[in-house]
Amino acid sequence: MLTAYTADQIRTAEQALMARLPEGTLMQRAAAGLAARCAGLLGRVYGSRVVLLAGSGDNGGDALYAGVRLARRGARVEAVLAGSRVHEAGLAALKLAGGRIAGPEAVDRADLVVDGLVGIGASGALREPYATLAGRVNRGPGLVVAVDVPSGVDASTGRVAGAAVRAHLTVTMGACKTGLLVDPGAGHTGRLELVDIGLGAFLPDPDVAALTGGDVTDLLPMPDAESDKYRRGVVGIAAGSQEYTGAAVLAVGGALRAGAGMVRYVGTAEPVAQVRAHWPEAVITQLDRPSLDGVGRVQAWVLGPGLGTGDFAHELAGKVLASDVPVLVDADALTLVSRDAALLRRSAPVLITPHAGELARLTRVPRERVEAGRLEHARRAAAELGVTVLLKGATTLVAEEERPVRVNRTGSSWLATAGTGDVLAGVAGVLLAQGLSCYDAGSCAAYLHGLAGGLAADGAPLVTADVAAAIPAAIRSLS
């Protein structure tokens, strides 16, 4: 599992470690790791043009000392001294190794730019001249390596308040920072690599975590010789309407492809006909009125994809949420609960799966604030609503009160197409029915859904049915 920490947590750990080491040891460890990653990105160091953006803090010192190592390997290294002060020992060592001081225009001819403008303690918008330099770096021709965190990204939250460096590679020291995994900061990070400087024993419980394939393998319920359809999880799906028949088809498909022992689908005539045609495996109850009579026992419900928001949908949602099993609340059902908060007052577990706009409606917060502070608002919603929140986006977050927020790192930008959330709801619903907690079911479903999206797209456009079809391959790839 990849764990991440706030700036305060990192600084406290660094201080504890530095108290046991000779002065400058941590900076030299960081610089060595940074230089090695820069060399790996360049491929050929000798003769390459490297520009160091050195701010006033320790990140500037890391960049200067990394530049010393690159200069010794034959790189033409120039330092742009952007801060009000500079790490004097680092600058002296760079000059001794053949490095030079240059103006901002050096960025325009660089093969590689090392961003050491600000460190993990910075917050808010970049001040000048840093903001202008960040823009110049982003327009320049060179590869960009950020030291610890791209300048302009809040290391603790991922917020980006103005101009910010967009890195091809971020080399982070000691431990991953929360803001590198959470949008919008994650979108500036590029590839992420960690340099071990010895912090491990001094780190507290993580602020954020990201599952790996091995973690998901350990959590997924797998069938054995004694498994039958009931032990494999019976999931109920209340979805679809005359206007949105496809949502029901996709949610049921996601559930079946994810290994449900049985899917009990309930809906009105139009989506029932489509589900029956696409998925003869589903056990179907056609509803003429909003009732669950005769549906049979389920171990979890998926509620909402394409359901509509009228009186029929509201009454059906009330009956599903009055059950004593876990319920995943998605799409139109989120609109219903945003209008009628009493629907969520239940003792059984609830997993909600909103995008930023839906979470904004639920929490009465402007959408732009949710998008700017996704971590904060996912946590707040989990605490205030008493539910587990799966906040969909380029990096999906799973938040539950008093647990580290889980960040999903699988996926493809091609997943940004209508209906993929319906498939995700079906996958997560099966995992709930198989006995996973909302926290684990949401985390594993997001991982598998993202993995399936990458497999289905393979660098090209996809349709949502492709994602459902790729779920078994995603599961198979974990073994």
Tell me the per-residue pLDDT of 5-35, one tens digit each, with 9 for 90 and over. Answer: 999 999 999 999 999 999 999 999 999 999 9
CATH label of the domain that carries residue 117: 3.40.50.10260
Q: Are 393 and 420 in contact (CB under 8 A)?
A: no
Domain that holds residue 270: 213-477
Q: Tell me: do 189 and 248 sit in the same domain.
A: no
Q: Tell me: do 218 and 180 sit in the same domain.
A: no
pLDDT tens, position by position, 76-99 = 999 999 999 999 999 999 999 999
Average pLDDT over residues 106-123: 95
- Of the chain, the percentage scoring pLDDT greater than 70 comes to 100
Q: Tell me: do 205 and 223 sit in the same domain.
A: no
Which residues fall in the annotated binding site for K(+)? 59, 115, 151
Q: Tell me: do 186 and 319 sit in the same domain.
A: no
Q: Tell me: do 172 and 249 sit in the same domain.
A: no
Average pLDDT over residues 119-136: 94
Residue 413 above 90 pLDDT? Answer: no
Q: Tell me: do 245 and 175 sit in the same domain.
A: no
What pLDDT, on a 0 to 100 scale, did the predictor assign at position 229?
A: 78
Which has the minimum average pLDDT: 28-42, 105-119, 410-424?
410-424
- Give every strand in the sheet of 76-81, ordered side by side: 100-101, 76-81, 49-54, 112-116, 143-147, 169-173, 191-195
Q: Tell me: do 90 and 170 sit in the same domain.
A: yes
The pLDDT mean for the chain works out to 96
Closest CA to 122 of 65, 183, 60, 79: 60
Last-in-domain residue among 150, 183, 209? 209
Q: Tell me: do 360 and 436 sit in the same domain.
A: yes
Q: pLDDT band at 59, cuts 50/70/90?
A: very high
Q: Tell me: do 196 and 229 sit in the same domain.
A: no
Which residues fall in the annotated binding site for AMP? 392-396, 421
Q: Are 75 and 48 in contact (CB under 8 A)?
A: yes
Which residues fall in the annotated binding site for (6S)-NADPHX? 58-62, 119-125, 130, 148, 247, 306, 355, 422
Last-in-domain residue among 209, 231, 253? 209
Residue 394 above 90 pLDDT? Answer: no
- pTM, full prediction: 0.92
Which has the minimum average pLDDT: 92-96, 154-158, 228-232?
228-232
What pLDDT, on a 0 to 100 scale, did the predictor assign at position 230?
A: 79
Q: Are 404 and 207 in contact (CB under 8 A)?
A: yes
Q: Tell me: do 202 and 260 sit in the same domain.
A: no
Q: Tell me: do 298 and 171 sit in the same domain.
A: no
What pLDDT, on a 0 to 100 scale, did the predictor assign at position 131?
A: 97
CATH label of the domain that carries residue 441: 3.40.1190.20
| 42-52 as b/e: b if 16+ CB within 10 A | beebeebbbbb
Q: Domain count of the chain?
A: 2
Last-in-domain residue among 191, 209, 227? 209
Which residues fall in the annotated binding site? 58-62, 115, 119-125, 130, 148, 151, 247, 306, 355, 392-396, 421-422
Residue 227 above 80 pLDDT? Answer: no
Q: Are 477 and 212 in contact (CB under 8 A)?
A: no
Burial class (CB in 10 A: 0-12, 13-18, 19+), 386: middle
Q: pLDDT band at 259, cuts 50/70/90?
A: very high
Q: Tell me: do 276 and 395 sit in the same domain.
A: yes
